[in-house]
Amino acid sequence: MKEITITTQFKVFDSIQDLPNDIQDLMTQAVEVRKNAYAPYSKFRVGVALVLDNGKIVVGSNQENAAYPSGLCAERVAIFYAGAVYPEAKILKMAITAASDTNQTTAPIPPCGSCRQSIAEYEIRQETPIEIYFMGEIGAIYKSESLKNLLPFMFDKKFL
């Protein structure tokens, strides 16, 4: 038997004000669009803003449905829109924020597993990493240089 060790590395910012100016703007847009989330069931609102290599910014918020799992997470709303409207553009950076209607979220909240796999598809397809910044409602922000930090064993087309 062999054993392997996998390590990941994240940068940590104490608040939005500590982020580089362009990322402050991106995270602020994510916070704003989070207010548009349709989350009557989970009471958990997520907002995402991503910047493309063509300079466009695309936003998304989670959209729930009583016929679960027919809704979509904010990350997938944004990346699928970007893929549909700007199919040749690369996603450079993604800012994610989440807040609960029932309690204050103070820890950084990463993308769920389905969103990680969807982000992985775009990162692999474009052959360049996507910087991912994520936070709760307030508090620290984590920065990942690539989705690979969040999903080190990515499933992709090479396995098919």
H-only helix segments in the chain: 21-34, 74-85, 113-126
Determine if residue 17 is labeled as part of a ligand binding site: no
123 labelled as ligand-binding?
A: no
Element (H, E) at 10: none
Catalytic residue among 75, 88, 123, 131: 75
73 marked as part of a ligand binding site: yes
Does the annotation place 89 within a ligand binding site? no
Q: Confirm whether residue 63 is marked as ligand binding.
A: yes
On whether 64 is known to bind a ligand per the annotation, the reply is yes
Q: Is 149 helix (H, G, I), strand (E, B) or coil?
A: helix
For residues 119 and 113, what is the distance between their CA atoms, to the nearest angstrom?
10
99 is in an annotated binding site: no
C-alpha torsion angle, residues 20, 92, 56, 135 (rounded to 10): -50
Answer for the pair 62, 96: CB distance below 8 angstroms, yes or no: no
66 annotated among ligand-binding-site residues: yes
Q: Catalytic: 123?
A: no
Asked whether 133 and 93 are in contact (CB, 8 A), the reply is yes
| Binding-site residue set | 62-68, 73, 112, 115
In the annotated binding site for substrate, the residues are 62-68
- Positions marked active-site: 75
